[in-house]
Amino acid sequence: MSTDVSRPLKITIAGVRGVVGETLTPDLLVNFSQAFGTWTGAGRVLVSRDTRPSGVMVAPCVCSGLTAAGCEVVDLGVCPTAALQLAVRSSDAVGGIAITAGHNDASWNALKFFREDGIYLNPKQAEELLNVYHQKEFAKARWDELRPVGRDDDAGRRHLEAVLAQLDVEAIGAAGLKIAVDCANGACSEFTPAFLERLGCEVVAINDDPELPFPHEPRPTPPNLSQLRALVRAAGADAGFAHDADGDRLGVVTEEGEAPGEEYTLCLGAEMVLGRGDPGPVVTNLSTTMAVDDVARKYGREVIRTGIGQVFIAESAVNYAAAIAGEGSGGIVFPKINYAHDSIAALGHIVALMAERGQPLSALIADIPRYTIVKREVVCPPQRAYSVLEELRRGLEAPWADEINLDDGVKLIGEDRWVHIRVSLTEPRIRVIAEADARGLAMDLADEYVRRTERLL
Amino acid sequence: MSGIQSLKIGVSGVRGIVGQSLTPQLVVGFAEAFGTYLDGGVVVIGRDPRPSGEMIRDALIGGLLSTGCSVIDVGVCPTPTMQHAVVDLGADGGIGITASHHPAGWNALKFCREDGVFLNEHQAEELLSVYHQGAFVLRGSDELGRVGRDEGAINRHLTKVLMSVDREAIAALAPRVVVDSVNGAGADCAEGLLQKMGCDVVAINDVPTGHFPRDPEPIPENLGQLCAAVLQYGADIGFGQDADGDRLSVVSAEGVAIGEEFTLAFAADVMAERGPGTLVTNLSTSRMIDEVAERHGCTVMRSRVGEVNVAETMMAEGAIGGGEGNGGVIDPKLHHCRDNLAAMALILQGMARRRVSVAEWAASFRPSAIIKDRVPCRAGHTQRAVLALQRHYEGREMDRTEGVKVFFEDGAWLHARPSNTEPIIRVIAEADDSPTARELCDEAMRVVAEAVA
């Protein structure tokens, strides 16, 4: 095949993602927005963006395409994606578009589409949208049906109030916690410091200027947390938290300045929510740590595992009436607030846990069984990705594995370890994630399956 | 008219019907082409208040930013205000979002260069080549332009007009003026200018909603409401604007719409006081400007039809005044753009200093009737039609600059030219009286009809 495999464009159920100036062109943006407006019908559609500079170019393209389709656009400006999702769900809007490439670097941007309940499009809906897009027979409003773009600058604040309503603000305030936060100059910059102050915390914020570029890759994984770790130590903070660019993933740093990994975000959130007695199971995806099972077991709860994708987590959270849902990337859903991955809510609940238990964060984490999770990836041309996985499935056998799950790629599950190989939704890569209770074992497992995958390429 | 047939992409810009042919995709494509053509830089955009203006503006901004251009949005304003802003802000180009005198369902893009004058034919061809080649230069996220707002463009424009006019004379006359802005872009600023000049202003259709209460072309048959208002309020003069403030028509105190040809005649009569010098208009404009030139010892040059052609001729000749017979006045002291604010100021100054009424001033010109008509003619047949006309009028004095212009006895003339924007031949004739002009038109239209049959 002559296709340029490095062309950075991904059109998937997670949305449309590309590099500005290469694949994410105004024409593509207008077409997708008009396709979305055609799919939703001529109702109200809310639009938000994160702080990456290209948002200023992308937003008018989106507004124009939606307006041309007859939608009434309300622009929420810069706010966390969770705030957009909440605003869509709690209004008569027929959908929403978030302009954010989440944790990708600033050269990328993306459109994420939400349906009227504020949840991502599921695969069937995404397929409908893609069919509209490809057919290019968009709804075109007559000139006198066009509606001006409205503004709503209050969605971010309403979202904070919705999170605060779920927390014991007094108890948290009484704990007198000092919290460091790294907003990556992203969409939470203007919200999280204020949120922590409302909780009565002493706040030390860095990278909280939405006008400035991302200080590091806006993915809250340990390699990007060195600045926050130093800050926690220097300021003597009780904890540090790191946001991604649009406020769906949260990274955690203990009072000792250690970054245990974003897998712990869900475990800590589950400790809080299950501990206070919210009913229902825990929903997570196939690639998330076994520690979630341990926490759930402690409270006698079931764990529901889904394929990878925020929509699967959110829909399962609805269907199973989950207490909490989320994934090992640090994105947590609190069903009492909204069916959105919400890093501000996650931060609030972990702070609440610290206040309630009166223990340092390191001790709370020490209570959670510690596994080593190794995340690797193999660059793979998108047109080969699924066939490589198919070939991989054929040669599978592992004496340690007593379960093979084929819901999303392939996952081999044993008593004390697992490995999950799947196609990335957002990048031209195959991801290999392995976890075991011993570090060497996890590394070996990941290495082995990376090698097997590479051999097939 | 179907969506496909309504689209016009040509040297005068891009025009179409919103919801049919003028799509955001098309606008994005032209924005990227223009940004590529300029190779970055600052672009000023302004719009008339049509409801589709915002959708188009958003698509324009997205396309321009992606090519590395920065955008300064001057918002809803007359097209000449945008053209002034291009110069004032030192921008590299400008885009007006307006279908000027076309109905509200239409919209269009008009491109101008760094001197605030529209692209000429050659430049427009270059832009179209970039558009058709489709190889737009798109920038990465660290090279994207920025968007700014400029709320001051209208005020700067007003100030320049006020500074250029004899305000004392106008204020002393304190005329009562009715202005009909067709709920277009010129609504607020026209009222503001007239008040600041000391006029007693009655504004009608003065809310810039873009919902036009009448056909926005300021020709007598569309100005019935204005004529009635002039009588009702006992006004000295009525001004009828188009949707984007670049064409103006005058109504007399007697409530008579005297025709848009008088707008330039009056304004030129005032600008010519700066003479001796050159006045410039197009081939289709009334001979009244020749009378003006005679009065003031000026000469007249005629360009092909189109604002940019008049403007460029004026610039090349260092003209002291110019414009077009459709009601577009260009005051080179301010800018080489058609400008209703400048036109109103000049005309009121003329009335004030001469102490004449509109009717008296109009009567100072040799009686004249101008008839404007059209014959359907496919683009492929236009040359055949023009050649047939040249043969038909052989032996008469003729100007072949654009189509054919034929001169008759008693100063009568006939101009037939293919339209730039529609599949028609425009036929314009002027004579001492209407039946004569009508006859000249009919004869030419018969010749064309036979030639293309």
Please give the full DSSP string across B53-108, using - where no structure is assigned: HHHHHHHHHHHHHHTTEEEEEEEE--HHHHHHHHHHTT-SEEEEE--TTS-TTEEE
Partners of A378 in the β-ladder: A430
Mean pLDDT of the region A354-364: 96
Q: Crossing angle for the helix pair A291-298 and A263-275, nearest 10 degrees?
A: 10
- What Cα–Cα distance (Å) separates residue B68 from each residue in A337, B82, B403? 41, 21, 41
Residue-level pLDDT at A439? 87
Q: A1 pLDDT exceeds 60?
A: no
Do B18 and A146 make contact, defined as CB atoms within 8 angstroms? yes
Measured distance CA(A16)–CA(A29) in Å, rounded = 9
Residue-level pLDDT at A2? 36
Measured distance CA(A322)–CA(A313) in Å, rounded = 10
| Residue carrying the six token digits 């918002």 | B75
Residue-level pLDDT at A242? 97
How far B95 CA lies from chain A's nearest CA (Å)? Answer: 16
The CATH number fitting domain A158-366, selected from 3.40.50.800, 3.30.930.10, 3.40.120.10, 3.20.20.70: 3.40.120.10
Bridge-based pairing state of the strands B413-418 and B424-431? antiparallel
| Residue carrying the six token digits 């990274």 | A251
Q: A6 pLDDT exceeds 70?
A: no
Measured distance CA(B30)–CA(B132) in Å, rounded = 10
Q: Select the highest-mean-pLDDT range: A114-118, A128-132, A403-407.
A: A114-118
**B76 at A interface, C-beta within 8 A:** no
How far B202 CA lies from chain A's nearest CA (Å)? Answer: 28
Q: A75 pLDDT exceeds 90?
A: yes
- List the helix and strand counts (H, then E) for chain A: 15, 20
Q: What mean pLDDT value characterizes chain A?
A: 93
Partners of A102 in the β-ladder: none
Inter-chain contacts counted by CB atoms under 8 A, chains A and B? 129
What values do phi and psi take at B323, rounded to 5? 150, -170
Q: Look up residue A185 and give its DSSP letter.
A: T
Would you say A290 and A284 are in contact if contact means Cβ atoms under 8 Å apart?
no
Q: Compare CB distances from B66 to A25, A140, A146 and report the shortest one's residue.
A: A25
Helix boundaries (H) for B121-223: 121-133, 153-164, 167-173, 187-196
Taking the alpha carbons at both ends of chain A, their separation in whole angstroms is 14
**b/e code B299-319 from CB counts within 10 Å (16+ = b):** ebbbbbbbbbbbbbbbeebeb
Query: CATH homologous superfamily of domain A372-456?
Result: Alpha-D-phosphohexomutase, C-terminal domain (3.30.310.50)
**Number of other residues whose CB lies within 10 A of the CB of residue A438:** 12
- What Cα–Cα distance (Å) separates residue A181 from each residue in A158, A185, A213, A225, A235? 21, 11, 17, 10, 11
> pLDDT-based confidence at A4, cuts 50/70/90?
very low
Contacts of A394 (CB under 8 A, 6+ apart): none
What values do phi and psi take at B292, rounded to 5? -60, -45
Measured distance CA(B301)–CA(A152) in Å, rounded = 55
Residue type, B178: V
Measured distance CA(A27)–CA(B31) in Å, rounded = 11
**B107 at A interface, C-beta within 8 A:** yes
Which residue of B28, B50, B97 to mutate against A (max A Cβ within 10 Å)?
B28
Q: Compare CB distances from A31 to B25, B52, B63 and report the shortest one's residue.
A: B25
Q: Compare CB distances from B19 to A57, A106, A143 and report the shortest one's residue.
A: A143
Do A146 and B52 make contact, defined as CB atoms within 8 angstroms? yes
Q: Which two tokens stand for residue A278?
A: 């919210």
Domain A372-456 in the same topology as domain A158-366: no
Do A30 and B146 make contact, defined as CB atoms within 8 angstroms? no
Question: What is the mean pLDDT of each successive set of 10 residues along chain B, which is 453 residues long?
Answer: 64 89 96 96 97 97 97 97 98 96 92 96 92 92 94 96 96 98 94 97 95 94 97 98 96 97 98 96 97 97 94 97 97 97 98 97 96 90 92 95 94 92 90 96 95 87
What values do phi and psi take at A311, rounded to 5? -65, -35
**B10 at A interface, C-beta within 8 A:** no
Q: Which two tokens stand for residue A410?
A: 């392939």
Domain limits, CATH 3.30.310.50, in chain B: 369-452
Query: B118: helix, coil or strand?
Result: strand
Q: Compare CB distances from A21 to B57, B59, B141 and report the shortest one's residue.
A: B141
Bridge-based pairing state of the strands B13-17 and B106-113? antiparallel
Measured distance CA(B397)–CA(A95) in Å, rounded = 68
The CATH number fitting domain B3-151, selected from 3.40.50.2300, 2.70.98.10, 3.40.120.10, 3.60.20.30: 3.40.120.10
Domain limits, CATH 3.40.120.10, in chain B: 3-151, 156-165+176-363
Residue-level pLDDT at B1? 40
- What Cα–Cα distance (Å) separates residue A20 from each residue in A16, A313, A429? 12, 29, 20
Mean pLDDT of the region A82-89: 98
**A149 at B interface, C-beta within 8 A:** yes
Would you say B272 and B296 are in contact if contact means Cβ atoms under 8 Å apart?
yes
Closest CA to A221 of A244, A203, A204: A244
Residue type, B220: P
Bridge-based pairing state of the strands A332-333 and A372-379? unpaired
Closest CA to A12 of A354, A304, A308, A246: A308
Burial class of B357 by CB neighbour count within 10 A (0 to 12, 13 to 18, 19+): middle
Closest CA to B340 of B111, B184, B205, B108: B184
Q: A409 pLDDT exceeds 70?
A: yes
Residue numbers in B near A30 (CB within 8 A): 24-25, 28, 59, 62
Residue-level pLDDT at B3? 41
Q: A5 pLDDT exceeds 70?
A: no
What values do phi and psi take at A235, rounded to 5? -85, -5
**A31 at B interface, C-beta within 8 A:** yes
Query: A20: helix, coil or strand?
Result: strand
**A28 at B interface, C-beta within 8 A:** no
- C-alpha torsion sign, points B156, B158, B163, B168: negative
Closest CA to B78 of B348, B342, B314: B342
| Residue carrying the six token digits 């207490």 | A323
Residue type, B146: R
How far B28 CA lies from chain A's nearest CA (Å)? Answer: 6
Please tell me which residue of chain B has the smallest CA distance to A19.
B140
**B105 at A interface, C-beta within 8 A:** yes
Q: Compare CB distances from B19 to A22, A60, A140 and report the shortest one's residue.
A: A140
Taking the alpha carbons at both ends of chain B, their separation in whole angstroms is 23
Kindly compute the dihedral angle of the four CA atoms of residues B354, B357, B361, B362, in this order, to the nearest 10 degrees. Answer: 170
Do B61 and A146 make contact, defined as CB atoms within 8 angstroms? no
Do A144 and B104 make contact, defined as CB atoms within 8 angstroms? yes
Measured distance CA(A100)–CA(A175) in Å, rounded = 35
Domain boundaries, given as residue ranges, for chain A = 9-153, 158-366, 372-456
Instruction: Please report the residues numbered 50 through 79 in chain A whose beta carbons come closer than 8 angstroms to any beta carbon of chain B.
Output: 52-54, 56-61, 63-65, 67-68
Residue type, A248: D
Contacts of A108 (CB under 8 A, 6+ apart): A8, A17, A18, A19, A20, A24, A52, A101, B141
Would you say A270 and A295 are in contact if contact means Cβ atoms under 8 Å apart?
yes
**CATH classification (class only), A9-153:** alpha beta
How far A261 CA lies from chain B's nearest CA (Å)? Answer: 30
Instruction: Please report the residues numbered 125 through 184 in chain B whose beta carbons come closer than 8 angstroms to any beta carbon of chain A.
Output: 138-147
Which residue of B66, B97, B107, B131 to mutate against A (max A Cβ within 10 Å)?
B66
Partners of B431 in the β-ladder: B369
Q: A3 pLDDT exceeds 70?
A: no
Measured distance CA(A108)–CA(A115) in Å, rounded = 23
* Chain centroid to CA A148: 31
Would you say B62 and A26 are in contact if contact means Cβ atoms under 8 Å apart?
yes
Measured distance CA(B356)–CA(B344) in Å, rounded = 15
Cα angle value B92/B346/B298 (rounded, 5°): 90
- Please tell us whether the domain made up of B156-165+176-363 is placed in CATH 3.75.10.20: no
Bridge-based pairing state of the strands B328-330 and B321-324? antiparallel
Measured distance CA(B57)–CA(A344) in Å, rounded = 35
**CATH classification (class only), B369-452:** alpha beta
Rg (CA), chain A: 21
Length of chain A, in residues: 457
Contacts of A161 (CB under 8 A, 6+ apart): none
